[in-house]
Amino acid sequence: MPLILDRNEVLEMYAFAREKKWVLPTFNTENLTTTEAILSAVSDYGKEIGVNNLPIIVGITNTYKDRPQSVYYSHTRNWEIGMRLFLKDLDVLTSPESPYGNLNVMVHLDHIIWDDDLELLNWDMRQFSSIMYDASTLPFEENIKKTAQFAEKNRDLVLIEGACDEISKADTSGNADDLTTPEMAEAYFSGTGVDIIVPNLGTEHRATASSLKYHGDLARKISAKTGPHLCLHGTSSVSQDELTTLFEDGICKVNLWTALERDSTFALFSDMVKNASKLIGPAKTKEMVGKGLLGMIADSESKPSLDYYTTTYRQDIIFRRMKEIIKQYLSIWYR
Ligand SMILES: [Zn+2]
């Protein structure tokens, strides 16, 4: 079915998820392979549990410095071209002819920066189901003021997620930012009028491993004040065992991206090493063995083959592994 863009229909989806005790997953993407892996995984998982129209949110950042995903969506490295391609991809993949045409797909703009993304913020917001308006680089009071202005202007057009605090980044200082206090969250939520807030609950963006602690106790204290309107970011930094209580903690939406890319790379790399000669031929394989880059047991006899040296081969491995990762998360949040 077509994308769910109407604000009231989006709110109905959230209410439906809440009734089911589901946490709505948002998987971000920066290429067609990932976009399709998300839809395909949800479609497969739905078939396994006997629901053919599961809701799913597909997200993308714009010029967000930590990961400008619309910029990466095309090799033009132009955000506008990338954003338009992303919307077209989703449009075609959710059309009635598509195998993913039954899904309830919502599209999310993630980390849209209050000053850098002014041009995008002037687009018709009705093309999107939700937007995370990010003014978290400003001092707290100014963040509230800026976000309230945006919410005032766009409240009828799109569901608004607000960034109460900055989420820490794994590859910067090493000093984690302070966690959001329930008092701050309450002041932000009532002061801005956003639908959903993103507090800092101890997770990290772009983590290289899933070894951090998610502070569910804090999420419960915050949601006791604001209601169950929290969104968790930096989810890849936490092990899946830590993510089973999100619904009870008052989290209604969860954002995830890093783990998809991080954890599919091993699958691709292993397969390429194992089949080295089919990818690059005996001569180049032997050269790599000679340089110590591959072991002696690497296949160095096979002829190169179209089944191995194409972009299709590489994307297929990524696609399949991403689907497995996504399905594992879905089994936690769509229980
Ligand atoms: Zn985020």
| pLDDT tens column, 67-118 | 999 999 999 999 999 999 999 999 999 999 999 999 999 999 999 999 999 9
**Cα(181) to centroid(ligand 1), Å:** 18
pLDDT value, residue 82: 98
| pLDDT over threshold 60, residue 174 | no
**Cα(260) to centroid(ligand 1), Å:** 14
**Cα(61) to centroid(ligand 1), Å:** 9
- 154-158, 182-186, 208-212, 286-290: least confident range: 208-212
145 and 94, same domain (yes or no):
yes
Model confidence pLDDT, tens digit, residues 215-244:
999 999 999 999 999 999 999 999 999 999
182 and 296, same domain (yes or no):
no
| pLDDT over threshold 90, residue 206 | no
293 and 313, same domain (yes or no):
yes
- Average pLDDT over the chain, rounded to an integer: 95
Q: Of all helices (H) and strands (E), which one includes residue 70?
A: helix 69-72
Model confidence pLDDT, tens digit, residues 44-60:
999 999 999 999 999 99
**Cα(294) to centroid(ligand 1), Å:** 37
pLDDT value, residue 168: 82
Q: Residue 243 domain-assigned?
A: yes
| pLDDT over threshold 90, residue 281 | yes
136 and 175, same domain (yes or no):
yes
Q: Which residues contact 318 (CB under 8 A, 6 or more apart)?
A: 33, 34, 37, 264, 267, 268
pLDDT value, residue 99: 97
pLDDT value, residue 176: 57
Percent of residues, the chain, with pLDDT higher than 70: 98
Model confidence pLDDT, tens digit, residues 254-273:
999 999 999 999 999 999 99
Q: Residue 2 domain-assigned?
A: no
- Indicate the residue type of 25: P
Q: Residue 294 domain-assigned?
A: yes
Q: Residue 313 domain-assigned?
A: yes
Band of residue 1 on the pLDDT scale cut at 50, 70, 90: confident
> d(Cα 293, Cα 295) in Å, to the nearest integer?
7
**Cα(111) to centroid(ligand 1), Å:** 6
**Cα(106) to centroid(ligand 1), Å:** 17
| pLDDT over threshold 70, residue 162 | yes
**Cα(170) to centroid(ligand 1), Å:** 12
Q: Residue 75 domain-assigned?
A: yes
Q: Looking at the 3D structure of the chain, how many domains does it have?
A: 2
| pLDDT over threshold 70, residue 173 | no
47 and 152, same domain (yes or no):
yes
285 and 243, same domain (yes or no):
no
**Cα(128) to centroid(ligand 1), Å:** 17
Give me the mean pLDDT over the 4-21 stretch: 98
Q: Residue 297 domain-assigned?
A: yes
307 and 198, same domain (yes or no):
no
Nearest by Cα to 102 from 40, 58, 54, 59: 54
Band of residue 182 on the pLDDT scale cut at 50, 70, 90: very high
pLDDT value, residue 165: 87
| pLDDT over threshold 80, residue 172 | no
pLDDT value, residue 175: 55
178 and 327, same domain (yes or no):
yes
| pLDDT over threshold 80, residue 276 | yes
180 and 313, same domain (yes or no):
no
Dihedral sign for Cα atoms in the order 280, 283, 286, 287: negative
**Cα(153) to centroid(ligand 1), Å:** 23
**Cα(64) to centroid(ligand 1), Å:** 10
Q: Contact 85/70 with Cβ under 8 angstroms?
A: no
**Cα(180) to centroid(ligand 1), Å:** 15
289 and 191, same domain (yes or no):
no
Q: Residue 221 domain-assigned?
A: yes
**Cα(163) to centroid(ligand 1), Å:** 9
CATH of the domain at 193: 3.20.20.70
Band of residue 207 on the pLDDT scale cut at 50, 70, 90: confident
208 and 276, same domain (yes or no):
no
**Structural domain range at position 314:** 265-321
pLDDT value, residue 217: 96
> d(Cα 204, Cα 238) in Å, to the nearest integer?
8
Answering whether pTM is above 0.85, one says yes
Nearest by Cα to 32 from 100, 93, 78: 93
305 and 240, same domain (yes or no):
no
**Cα(142) to centroid(ligand 1), Å:** 20
| pLDDT over threshold 80, residue 310 | yes
Tell me, what DSSP letter sits at residue 247?
Answer: T
**Cα(168) to centroid(ligand 1), Å:** 9
Which residue is associated with the tokens 């160095």?
300
